[in-house]
Structure 1
């Protein structure tokens, strides 16, 4: 059983966590693992590299379809970066 002092300290830590990282606090409250930001960043960088590669290949090769795919993929990755930083 926790003492009154320990409970108040624990409540302070909980409030601080909810203010600083509400996603982590919610994940801990629900008992699920928080989503890894490093994994999301790695996947996003992978798609960035693919999009730029498609665009460069489209500009080098005489195929407008590859260029169009590169432009669409690059637009999607830019939109994802912007949406991610607005959250």
Structure 2
């Protein structure tokens, strides 16, 4: 059980959150997630396209460095997708 001081501090935090970001406060209260922002989604799609392009160019050209960069970039984008859906 929380002490009186702890409850008071939590109420202050709750009021501050309600004032500063009411959408987040509502989402936390109702237990639903915030919708992903369009900019983050667009950036993630751009990263996907760039990674696949690097990989294809690396496979066409006889340069193993470009292929390695494509593989690393694609690994990063897959990791980002997996981490994003786990939250």
- TM-score interval for Structure 1 and Structure 2 normalised by the shorter chain: 0.5 to 0.7
Alignment CA distance shift 1:19-1:68 (3 Å): same
Runs of 4 or more consecutive aligned structure 1 residues displaced over 2 Å after TM superposition? 15-18, 20-24
TM-score normalised by L of structure 1: 0.63
Aligned length: 62
Unaligned runs of 5+ in 1: 1-14, 25-35
Matches within 5 A, 1:17-56: 17=27, 18-21=29-32, 37-56=37-56
Structure 2: distance between partners of 1:55 and 1:22: 34
